[in-house]
């Protein structure tokens, strides 16, 4: 063993045989064994040990390796340490504070015993990883790393402070081609941007470098090293390839400067660290901590049955061993990913365990207390063809972790109530993210204040949170003509039967995971979808959204039957798989035609962007375009107590404030009604608010000014009337004139778009969703599947069809739909029945003397014309069907809806649609049953004069947990039922009013409307102040040198520990 030459520079060596990260040692020109600690003027560490050089590797050319026995830290050759000095391999640079020790694995697998069953053994409490799965992670690939000088790297970090620019070759993943552009690090935003030759503006390559993981890797094809950079808590990856040794070291040092920085939140602000909402109570202070108490597990607070989407079963031609780990190729069979019934237990310490129902083996363990609140999200029903799915994304951890992102967990529930209960419980144990000034309040201080604003510290009152949401509308796609017939092997649809056509569908990926999927369209190569998707509570780390266009094969595989036998719900349907790009692991039979990326930081918030996005294939060639509308919203939300004055003002229903607001912004009735209804739904007074709107609209209080308002009803002459009692003759003349137009006015009641009609529409869809599915769901699906042709219009009927036969089919189907509705009066939700009863009473009181049928038409104007008939006419919009019916079935449903509408109007078909006159027989015979149905809906017991707020028994557990949460953790907590964010709707209402009031004249407003306007201005100003005072995201500075030195030391320590 010989030492290095005297003139050799000290080098930084990294040797790796596991996934710990960089393993570093250092040497000095003057003293052997001098460590980086000398840079901090501390005592040197003991002399380093020797290490045998590693053997040749297949991943690197032999010319790049230097072979021999040498002292660690010495230079074996006097040559320059450039690309030719690549010797050892490394996996990744992680967060130094969480570098795993040799005795602990980042993800602890659940290993089966010899009996094939997991034995549950109690162990001493310890810090557990966020996720434990039954399958250990695959071994990381070995890659060579560039030998560099430790002192030089530190000097470069000092001089650059995280700033760097120059020409770079980059790519976004191993499958993407390399691109060349001028790149630079934007130190203000902490982002990596690039500028192409043909462009004059920078585009974002990586939005946030803070906390990024950096590793040196080797490109086998190009025989060149590159830098692999991955953001914190994200599946995104960017490969950078500088063109010289000096640039390589400079970029490496600049990126290392950003590594110790805490990742930023939304709007370039820093999220403040919070305590775990619920602590582990397994020990008590007044009890001796014996060994038995240490091994005691936390109490179980919830047990339930779920269905778990399994993604950990691998496939190989030789068969998969029972106890083996997944193959490195990750090849999946068609039926490998399937639903599994599991039992889950949730403990007080936030530990969620999943056990298989078949053999009671432990499937997975999730430590919820280590996850951010955004890690538990609602999964769109289109992904797994299930309406009630919860997704847990362990990569969104509240703490910086060095582990690779585990696979997400998908859980399916049987009903909406169970879905809401478990979503609230799982989120209760996660860590919320709040923002505030640099010297932020202590969470314990805020919790002890119990939400009292006067007792809060000064900085606690400046706390707020930010929520990011994303909405997509996938409209259509147009494909370009293929350059070669081989590129479009499925374009000739005429050679296949209609049911075996290949089709196109689009997928939305967020952070590499499948979040939504359109229906498969088989009509043409230019599919049209017009489907909308909304994503709420997105993490701040999410910066890229991708949309892929995929093609389904024209015929199912031969093992379709076996796939269904093994539990695949939709056989070979592509909705059950992805192509391995992201989301669930596995290989799809579907071909990825093209994709495009949308960088959220480049979009203007709260503004819709609709354009044709070019679809690029894996080689970067344009294969078509897709018309997509996207909208990003970043809402700043104050603490719930800040909106209390506005809540008190809005809940004064006698002041007609909400109607006054609606009159000022008539173009935003839909958004306004949804915000207000959500606010009153959480307070339990949605029905009272709607009833107040009914009285105002029927009595005409919103149609005239307060000075000229007159109420014409049986109450005329009462204290509420503005009539003079001495003007008897004048009153009789007015009543006589009113009688002439009363019939017309009553027939047009609730036909227009007002705040009331929009609110009741939204309320009926929310409360009556299950009721509608139970009443008409099966019949609508039957009609859609049979696709009957019931055309009775002489101008549209096809030649050779029997008109009489079509009439018989139409009458029979209409009769069946009516029978389903007439038998459902008792199943109508009680809250809706109370509202319908109030509508009927007010309308009869107002128009009963002029139109006797108003007691039925007023109710049917909502229940039929705005609920049943639209649901029959457009079943996809109301969730009764996943896609629009075929043309014949669509026309049949249109005729049925037209007939039911005539029944609801108590009218008959005449000269306007004389070809529908045969339906008059049905309308005449069913008029009395229709009235009986309306009477049954409105005949709710008088004792229920107050709105019925039914609390499901399953809500007791999450409501009890909510009471135990500290006030800081209750912020943004979804309410039950319907998972409504109360404070967020107040913030949205403020933004909506101030946005629209700029166009309206607000100088002449007074009363409560003026108070409302002043409150909105004050809340907006407070939001702006809180945002300005919030701590900005960190960026490398000269005073960060201590952290940089610690980074090198920890890398060095990891290297020493790995070779002891």
* pLDDT given for residue 994 in this prediction: 93
- The 3 state secondary structure assigned to 62-103 is HHHCCCCCEECCCCCCCCCCCHHHCCEECCCCCCHHHCCCCC
| pLDDT tier at 362, thresholds 50, 70, 90 | very high
Q: Stretch 17-22: mean pLDDT, rounded?
A: 34
| pLDDT tier at 131, thresholds 50, 70, 90 | low
Return d(Cα 572, Cα 564) in angstroms, integer: 8
* pLDDT given for residue 110 in this prediction: 43
Burial (0-12, 13-18, 19+ Cβ within 10 Å), 303: exposed
| pLDDT tier at 72, thresholds 50, 70, 90 | very low
Which of the two residues, 563 and 765, has the higher pLDDT score? 765
* pLDDT given for residue 1012 in this prediction: 96
| pLDDT tier at 578, thresholds 50, 70, 90 | very low
Domain contains 44: yes
Q: What is the pLDDT of residues 842-851, one digit of tens each?
A: 999 888 877 8
Which of the two residues, 492 and 174, has the higher pLDDT score? 174
Domain contains 294: no
Number of folded domains in the chain? 4
CATH code for the domain in which residue 187 is found:
2.30.29.30
Q: What is the pLDDT of residues 883-903, one digit of tens each?
A: 999 999 999 999 999 999 999
208 and 145, same structural domain?
A: no
| pLDDT tier at 9, thresholds 50, 70, 90 | very low
Q: What is the pLDDT of residues 459-469, one digit of tens each?
A: 557 899 999 99
| pLDDT tier at 61, thresholds 50, 70, 90 | very low
Q: Stretch 318-324: mean pLDDT, rounded?
A: 35
Does residue 19 carry a pLDDT above 80?
Answer: no
Which of the two residues, 4 and 266, has the higher pLDDT score? 266
User: Pairing relation of β-strands 24-25 and 13-14?
Assistant: antiparallel
Give residue 493's domain range: 465-638
Q: Stretch 779-784: mean pLDDT, rounded?
A: 96
Using the 3D structure, point to which of 897, 912, 938 is the last residue of a domain: 938
Q: Stretch 397-406: mean pLDDT, rounded?
A: 60
SS3 32: coil
Q: Stretch 784-793: mean pLDDT, rounded?
A: 94
| pLDDT tier at 105, thresholds 50, 70, 90 | very low
* pLDDT given for residue 749 in this prediction: 78
* pLDDT given for residue 113 in this prediction: 40
56 and 186, same structural domain?
A: no
Per the rule left: phi > 0, alpha: psi between -120 and 50, beta: everything else, 976 is beta
| pLDDT tier at 1060, thresholds 50, 70, 90 | low
| pLDDT tier at 943, thresholds 50, 70, 90 | low
607 and 477, same structural domain?
A: yes
Q: Stretch 811-829: mean pLDDT, rounded?
A: 96
Which of the two residues, 848 and 570, has the higher pLDDT score? 848
Using the 3D structure, point to which of 208, 238, 260 is the last residue of a domain: 260
Buried/exposed 24-57: b ≥16 CB within 10 Å, e otherwise: bbbbbeeeebbbbbebeeeeebeebeebeeeeeb
| pLDDT tier at 126, thresholds 50, 70, 90 | very low
| pLDDT tier at 1055, thresholds 50, 70, 90 | low
Q: What angle do CA 769, 773, 777 make, to 5 degrees?
A: 150
Contacts for 769 with CB less than 8 Å, ≥ 6 apart:
878, 879
Return d(Cα 646, Cα 982) in angstroms, integer: 12
Which of the two residues, 983 and 175, has the higher pLDDT score? 983
The angle that helices 669-683 and 755-767 make with each other, rounded to 10 degrees, is 60
Q: Mean of the per-residue pLDDT values for the chain?
A: 75
83 and 195, same structural domain?
A: no
Domain contains 507: yes
Task: Name residue 677's beta-bridge partners.
Answer: none
Residue 204 vs residues 207, 544, 969: alpha-carbon distances, Å: 6, 10, 34
Domain contains 1060: yes
**Residue whose structure tokens are 């362990």:** 394
CA end-to-end span of the chain: 19
231 and 145, same structural domain?
A: no
574 and 535, same structural domain?
A: yes
192 and 49, same structural domain?
A: no
SS3 194: strand
Whole-angstrom Cα Rg for the chain: 34
CATH code for the domain in which residue 823 is found:
1.10.506.10
| Max Cα-Cα span within the chain | 122
* pLDDT given for residue 40 in this prediction: 40
* pLDDT given for residue 588 in this prediction: 57
56 and 184, same structural domain?
A: no
Among 212-226, 419-433, 620-634, where is mean pLDDT lowest?
A: 212-226
Q: What is the pLDDT of residues 204-225, one digit of tens each?
A: 888 889 888 888 888 888 888 9
776 and 911, same structural domain?
A: yes
Q: Stretch 487-505: mean pLDDT, rounded?
A: 51
85 and 195, same structural domain?
A: no
| pLDDT tier at 732, thresholds 50, 70, 90 | low
Using the 3D structure, point to which of 897, 919, 938 is the last residue of a domain: 938
Positions of E strands within 572-621: 591-599, 609-616
C-alpha dihedral sign at 451, 456, 461, 467:
negative
Does residue 975 carry a pLDDT above 70?
Answer: yes
Return d(Cα 571, Cα 414) in angstroms, integer: 21
Return d(Cα 923, Cα 927) in angstroms, integer: 6
How distant is the alpha carbon of residue 403 from its chain centre?
23
| pLDDT tier at 735, thresholds 50, 70, 90 | low
SS3 677: helix
Domain contains 291: no
Does residue 753 carry a pLDDT above 50?
Answer: yes
* pLDDT given for residue 8 in this prediction: 36
| pLDDT tier at 108, thresholds 50, 70, 90 | very low
Return d(Cα 165, Cα 179) in angstroms, integer: 16
**Residue whose structure tokens are 């407003």:** 1005
| pLDDT tier at 1043, thresholds 50, 70, 90 | confident
Does residue 59 carry a pLDDT above 60?
Answer: no
577 and 469, same structural domain?
A: yes
Share of the chain above pLDDT 70, in %: 66
Return d(Cα 357, Cα 754) in angstroms, integer: 52
Return d(Cα 802, Cα 824) in angstroms, integer: 34
* pLDDT given for residue 858 in this prediction: 92
SS3 872: helix
Domain contains 713: no
Contact (Cβ atoms closer than 8 angstroms) between residue 509 and residue 547: yes
573 and 517, same structural domain?
A: yes
Q: Note if the bond before 45 is cis, omega within 30 degrees.
A: no
Which of the two residues, 440 and 646, has the higher pLDDT score? 646
Does residue 504 carry a pLDDT above 80?
Answer: yes
Contact (Cβ atoms closer than 8 angstroms) between residue 772 and residue 832: no
Domain contains 107: no
Q: What is the pLDDT of residues 271-319, one digit of tens each?
A: 876 666 665 444 334 444 444 444 567 899 999 999 998 766 443 333 3
SS3 164: coil
Domain contains 893: yes
Q: What is the pLDDT of residues 468-477, one digit of tens each?
A: 999 999 999 9
CATH code for the domain in which residue 619 is found:
2.60.40.150
Q: What is the pLDDT of residues 189-205, one digit of tens each?
A: 889 999 877 667 788 88
């Amino acid at each position: 063993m010989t030492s290095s030459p005297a003139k050799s520079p000290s080098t930084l060596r990294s040797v790796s045989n596991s996934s710990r990260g960089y393993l570093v040692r250092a040497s000095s020109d003057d003293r052997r064994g001098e460590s980086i600690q000398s840079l901090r003027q501390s005592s040197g560490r003991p002399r380093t040990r020797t290490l045998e050089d590693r053997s040749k590797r297949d991943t690197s050319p032999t010319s790049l390796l230097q072979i021999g026995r040498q002292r660690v830290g010495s230079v074996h050759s006097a040559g320059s340490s450039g690309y030719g000095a690549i010797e050892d391999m490394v996996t990744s640079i992680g967060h130094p504070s969480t570098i795993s020790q040799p005795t602990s694995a980042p993800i602890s697998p659940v290993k089966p015993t010899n009996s094939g069953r997991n034995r549950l053994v109690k162990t001493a409490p310890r810090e557990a990883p966020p996720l434990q799965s039954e399958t250990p992670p695959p071994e990381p690939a070995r890659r060579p790393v560039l030998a560099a000088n430790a002192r030089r790297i530190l000097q470069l970090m000092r001089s650059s402070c995280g700033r760097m620019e120059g020409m770079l070759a980059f790519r976004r993943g191993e499958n993407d081609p390399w691109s060349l552009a001028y790149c630079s690090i934007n130190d203000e935003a902490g982002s990596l941007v690039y500028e192409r030759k043909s462009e004059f503006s920078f585009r974002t390559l990586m939005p946030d470098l803070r906390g990024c993981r950096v590793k040196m890797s080797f490109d086998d094809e190009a025989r060149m090293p590159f830098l692999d950079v991955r953001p914190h808590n994200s599946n995104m990856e960017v490969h950078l390839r500088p063109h010289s040794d000096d640039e390589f070291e400079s970029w490496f040092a600049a990126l290392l400067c950003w590594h110790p920085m805490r990742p930023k939140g939304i709007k370039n602000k820093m999220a403040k660290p919070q305590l775990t909402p619920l602590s582990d109570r397994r020990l008590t202070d007044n009890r001796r901590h014996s060994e038995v108490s240490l091994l005691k597990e936390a109490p179980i607070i919830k047990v339930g049955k779920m269905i778990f989407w399994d993604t950990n079963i691998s496939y190989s031609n030789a068969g998969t061993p029972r106890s083996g780990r997944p193959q490195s190729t990750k090849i999946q069979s068609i039926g490998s990913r399937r639903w599994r019934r599991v039992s889950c237990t949730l403990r007080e310490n936030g530990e969620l365990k999943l056990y298989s129902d078949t053999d009671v083996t432990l499937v997975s363990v999730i430590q919820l207390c280590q996850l951010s609140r955004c890690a538990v999200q609602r999964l769109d029903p289109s992904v797994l063809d299930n309406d009630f799915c919860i997704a847990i994304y362990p990569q969104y951890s509240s703490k910086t972790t060095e582990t690779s992102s585990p696979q997400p967990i998908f859980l399916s529930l049987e009903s909406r109530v169970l879905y809401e209960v478990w979503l609230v419980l799982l989120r209760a144990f996660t860590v919320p993210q709040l923002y505030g000034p640099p010297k932020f309040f202590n969470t314990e201080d805020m919790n002890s204040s119990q939400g009292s604003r006067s007792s809060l510290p000064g900085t606690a009152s400046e706390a707020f949170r930010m929520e990011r949401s994303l909405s997509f509308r996938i409209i259509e796609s147009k494909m370009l003509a293929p350059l070669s017939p081989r590129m479009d092997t499925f374009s000739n649809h005429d050679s296949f039967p209609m049911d075996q056509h290949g089709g196109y569908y689009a997928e939305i990926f967020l952070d590499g995971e499948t979040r939504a999927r359109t229906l498969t369209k088989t009509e043409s190569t230019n599919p049209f979808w017009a489907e909308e998707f909304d994503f709420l509570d997105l993490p701040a780390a999410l910066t890229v959204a991708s949309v892929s266009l995929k093609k389904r094969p024209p015929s199912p595989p031969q093992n379709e039957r076996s796939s269904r036998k093994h539990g695949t719900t939709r056989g070979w349907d592509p909705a059950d798989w992805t192509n391995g790009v992201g989301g669930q692991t596995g290989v799809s039979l579907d071909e990825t035609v093209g994709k495009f990326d949308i960088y959220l930081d480049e979009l203007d918030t709260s503004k819709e962007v609709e354009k044709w996005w070019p679809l690029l294939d894996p080689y970067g060639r344009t294969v078509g375009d897709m018309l997509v509308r996207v909208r990003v919203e970043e809402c700043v939300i104050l603490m719930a107590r800040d909106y209390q004055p506005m809540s008190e003002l809005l809940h004064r229903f006698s002041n007609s404030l909400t109607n006054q607001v609606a009159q000022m912004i008539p173009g935003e009735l839909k958004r306004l009604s949804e915000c207000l209804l959500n606010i009153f739904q959480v307070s339990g007074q949605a029905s009272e608010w709607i009833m107040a709107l009914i009285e105002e609209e029927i009595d005409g209080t919103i149609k005239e000014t307060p000075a000229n308002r007159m109420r014409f009803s049986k109450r005329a002459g009462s204290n509420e009337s503005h009539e003079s009692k001495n003007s008897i003759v004048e009153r009789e003349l007015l009543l006589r004139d009113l009688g002439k137009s009363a019939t017309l006015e009553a027939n047009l009641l609730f036909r227009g778009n007002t705040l009331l009609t929009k609110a009741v529409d939204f309320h009926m869809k929310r409360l009556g969703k299950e009721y509608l599915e139970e009443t008409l769901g099966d019949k609508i699906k039957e009609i859609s599947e049979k696709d009957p042709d019931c055309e009775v219009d002489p101008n549209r009927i096809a030649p050779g069809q029997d008109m009489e036969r079509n009439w018989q089919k139409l009458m029979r189907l209409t009769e069946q739909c009516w029978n389903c509705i007439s038998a459902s009066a008792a199943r109508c939700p009680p809250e809706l029945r109370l509202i319908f009863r109030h509508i009927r009473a007010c309308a009869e009181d107002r128009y009963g003397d002029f139109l006797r049928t108003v007691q039925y038409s007023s109710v049917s104007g909502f229940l039929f014309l705005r609920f049943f008939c639209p649901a029959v006419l457009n079943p996809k919009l109301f969730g009764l069907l996943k896609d629009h019916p075929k043309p014949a079935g669509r026309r049949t449903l249109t005729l049925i809806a037209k007939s039911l509408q005539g029944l609801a109007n108590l009218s008959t078909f005449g000269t306007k649609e004389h070809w529908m006159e045969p339906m008059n027989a049905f309308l005449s015979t069913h008029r009395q049953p229709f009235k009986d149905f309306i009477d049954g809906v409105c005949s709710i017991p008088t004792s229920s004069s107050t709105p019925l707020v039914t609390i499901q028994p399953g809500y007791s557990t999450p409501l009890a947990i909510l009471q135990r949460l500290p006030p800081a953790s209750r912020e943004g907590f979804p309410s039950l039922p319907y998972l409504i964010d109360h404070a967020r709707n107040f913030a949205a209402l403020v933004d909506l009013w101030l946005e629209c009031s700029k166009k309206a004249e607000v100088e002449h407003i007074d009363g409560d409307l003026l108070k409302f306007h002043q409150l909105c201005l004050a809340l907006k100003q407070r939001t702006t102040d809180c945002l300005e005072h919030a701590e900005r995201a960190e960026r490398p500075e000269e005073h960060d040198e201590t952290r940089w030195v610690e980074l090198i030391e920890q890398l060095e320590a990891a290297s020493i520990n790995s070779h002891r």
